[in-house]
Amino acid sequence: MEQKLIKVVVGSKNPVKVNASRTVIAALYPNAVVECAGLNAPSNVPEQPMNAAETREGAINRVQYCQQHAEADFYIAIEGGVDLLDDGPATFAYVVIANHEQESVGRSAALPLPAAIYQSLLAGEELGPVMDRLFKTVNIKHKGGAIGLLTNGHATRESNYTQALTLAMAPFLYCDLYSQ
């Protein structure tokens, strides 16, 4: 019996985003072979989105670019951003998953940010380089991210993305329920 092939295109070549996407699709479709590739898709928002609306828009823009430039069963985009929430500054990501019939938008858990880090972002810096400077790391955004650093590795960028993507897949797993 031949296994079904599921092609996934991720709107970034960042290994954390590609790995999270591959992990989720493979877990949800255990009898399929998952082929997952990253594509440098533009977000068309600032390098460091500074509010939820920009962050969400960046993820949607990346998915739309992938749909226009590649053929796949699923298109996935993950856009990290920051915002000043009711309880203070935080970083989070929007995730968008689409196929040819539907689209699902989700959001990850939010990590509270120290005021000093948020001030650096307001001054125009990007979160990854700020964290690299503070923690003397190199390219942390392609590894555990600010989440990994600020939780002593108990959560990571990838674990946060994996959870958000898993939840955003619910409409694809139960199409009939979500289309009512």
CATH number where 76 lies: 3.90.950.10
In 3-state terms the chain splits into helix, strand, coil percentages (rounded to 5) of 45, 25, 30
> Which carries the bigger pLDDT value, residue 142 or residue 71?
71
DSSP code of 48? S
Q: Which two tokens stand for residue 31?
A: 């009898």
pLDDT of residue 180: 82
CB burial class (10 A; 0-12, 13-18, 19+) of residue 155?
A: middle
pTM, to two decimals: 0.95
Q: SS3 of 4, please? A: strand
pLDDT at 1 over 70: no
Q: Which two tokens stand for residue 70?
A: 């590649």
Q: What percent of the chain has pLDDT over 70?
A: 99
Beta strand 4-10 with 74-85 is: parallel
| Domain boundaries, position 157 | 4-178
Q: What is the pLDDT of residues 5-53, one digit of tens each?
A: 999 999 999 999 999 999 999 999 999 999 999 999 999 999 999 999 9
SS (H, E, C) 51-107: CHHHHHHHHHHHHHHHHHHCCCCEEEEEEEEEEEECCEEEEEEEEEEECCCCEEEEE
pLDDT at 150 over 90: yes
Give the pLDDT mean for 168-173.
Answer: 98
Average pLDDT of the chain is 96
Q: How many domains does the chain have?
A: 1
